[in-house]
Amino acid sequence: MKKVIVSAVLAAMALATVSAQDFKTSYFLDNYVYSYRLNPGAQLEDDSFTFFSIGLGNTSMSTSTNLALSSFIFATPSGDYTWGFGEAIPAETFLSQIDDENYFNPRLSVNLLTFGRQGENYRFAIEANVRSDSYFYAAKDFFRAFKGGLNEGLATSKGSYTFDNMQFNSSNYAEIAATYSHSIGDNLVVGGTAKLLLGVLGTTFNINHLYAHDLPNGDWGGDCDADIQFSSPLLTTASFVQGKSLYDVLEDVQYGKVGINGFGFGLDLGATWKPIDNLEVGLSVLDLGFLSWNPNIKAKIQYKDKDFVDIEDALEFKDVEEAGYTQGLNYNIHLFGKYRMPFYDRLSAGFVGTWQKHFKEARLGVDVTPVNAISIAASAAYNSYGLDFGAALNIRFPGINLFLGADTISFKQNADKIPSGRGGQTNVTTGLVIAF
């Protein structure tokens, strides 16, 4: 029973910043409708047109991580596959695939509505989007403890585990964005996007310090200092949680309905300049702003030398008096450059540099547009997690624009044919837009 309880607690910890990551290979494409997302001051197209989409405009799924699939999936001698936490995989083999510091940052962006117009020297667009952004960080000791808890119980040969600064954050919100770009003279385009953010569900679970060890009486327990915040009308508590156990808090939870429980504002700025014929350079700063939450549950878990077997007493909640909390947006800085070949103006090459809190990247790309309706791009990047390859396709027929692509295409596999790339900044994007 002790093994099951401890493993369940560790699993809950594993599941306990706000940012948006856009499709960088798209910069190299010709005639890409959503070019203003990566740079609000993106170069204007030669032709004027109106564009709109409902539900299918731009769906993007992305993940940043230094954890490869091969770190968790292993081949067995019989030819089957098993996960690394299973008893069939020795702890030394599993842990040899885990870094000292580990990150996992999945994101999802769904475009519900887009309407825009590009004129001779301007562009505007209005969007309604739904975004989800989560971030998980854990040191190697967390995976060592999880492995031991599932296979042997935590009282293994090491005898103690320390988790410091472990965190899980998740923000899920609606976004209403308005973009405007304008050309200044013949060589400069400037633009900006204002975003109203409506928080739907936000949660943070930060373990400031957790020390698990043998107690003097021979039982297994430890010290904990952790903060929990949950913000959504979906779950509320009828009273304060001061002094209550985990079970008492769960019994006190009331279920509500989907609603708005946070507000924020974001700003994107960008510009593109053509210093000479065939060459353009650009700069954008995305997601300057904040998102403030009004938590329904906000508590501190704090105890010392408590027995993990008596988990109800160990997880004693303490109220925190502050009314709410504010998150800064995880801003992105991009530097762009593109050169169109003078001997064949349907061929171009360029670069995109990206800097953000948890990720840095330099990406080179090339695009060919054999006919006006079809543009094909490929890119290669070196980033915080290694080498990545990207590809994109944009098709623009009269009345319709279809695009799809990925910023990361990993071909690396181990000897057992399991993907062994470190994850990188994977971003898969697809969309369908009416343009006329």
Rounding to the nearest 10 degrees, give the CA dihedral for residues 309, 312, 316, 319.
150
Q: How far apart are the first and last CA of the chain?
A: 65
Rg (CA), the chain: 25
- The token pair at 246 is 């985990």
- When pLDDT is averaged across residues 340-356 and rounded to a whole number, the result is 95
Average pLDDT over residues 265-278: 97
Q: State residue 56's pLDDT score.
A: 80
| Residue 424 backbone class (left: φ over 0; alpha: ψ -120 to 50; beta: rest) | left
Is a pLDDT exceeding 80 seen at residue 215?
no
Furthest CA-CA distance within the chain: 81
Alpha-carbon gap, residue 132 to 114, rounded angstroms = 19
Could you write out the DSSP letters of every residue in 157-202?
TT-EEEEEEEEEEEEEEEEEEEEEEEEETTTEEEEEEEEEEEEEEE
Higher-pLDDT residue of 280 and 17 is 280
Q: Can you give the pLDDT at residue 33?
A: 92
- Is the pLDDT at 378 greater than 60? The verdict is yes
Coil, helix or strand at residue 144 = helix
Whole-model pTM?
0.80
Cβ atoms of 145 and 212 closer than 8 Å: yes
pLDDT of residue 117: 96
Angle between helices 2-15 and 140-151 (to 10 degrees): 150
- Residue 123 to residue 120: CA distance in whole angstroms: 8
CB contact at 8 A, 159 and 214: yes
Does 283 have pLDDT greater than 60? yes
What is the mean predicted confidence (pLDDT) over 402-407? 90
The bridge status of strand 188-214 relative to strand 160-184 is antiparallel
Dump strand ranges (E) for 294-415: 297-307, 317-319, 325-328, 332-340, 347-356, 359-371, 374-383, 386-397, 400-406
Q: Of the given ranges (100-114, 122-136, 201-215, 401-415), which has the lowest mean pLDDT?
A: 401-415
Q: How many residues does the chain have?
A: 436
Q: What type of residue sits at position 74?
A: F
For residues 341 and 93, give the distance between their C-alpha atoms in angstroms, rounded to a whole number.
51
Tens-digit pLDDT profile for residues 89-128:
888 888 888 888 888 888 889 999 999 999 999 999 999 9
Please give the residue that has the higher pLDDT: either 310 or 392: 392
For the CA atoms of 67, 69, 73, 79, the dihedral, rounded to the nearest 10 degrees, stands at -150
The 10s digit of each residue's pLDDT in 122-161 is 999 999 999 998 888 888 878 877 777 655 555 444 567 7
Q: What is the pLDDT of residue 90?
A: 83
pLDDT (0 to 100) of residue 87: 78
pLDDT at position 276: 95
202 to each of 60, 111, 321, 359, how far by Cα in Å? 20, 20, 18, 22
What is the reported pLDDT for 68? Answer: 74
Residue 258 phi, psi (nearest 5): -65, 135
DSSP state of 169: E
Confidence tier at 192 by pLDDT (50, 70, 90)? very high
Q: Is the pLDDT assigned to residue 3 strictly greater than 50?
A: no
pLDDT at residue 210, as a whole number = 85
Set out the domains of the chain in order of their start, with CATH numbers.
2-435 (2.40.160.40)
Report whether pLDDT(12) > 60.
no
Could you give the CA distance from residue 310 to residue 326 in angstroms, rounded to a whole number? Answer: 35
Query: Per DSSP, what are the bridge partners of residue 301?
Result: 226, 317
Which amino acid is present at 310?
A: D
Query: For 180-189, what is each residue's pLDDT tens digit?
Result: 999 999 999 9
**DSSP string for 339-352:** EE-TT-TTEEEEEE
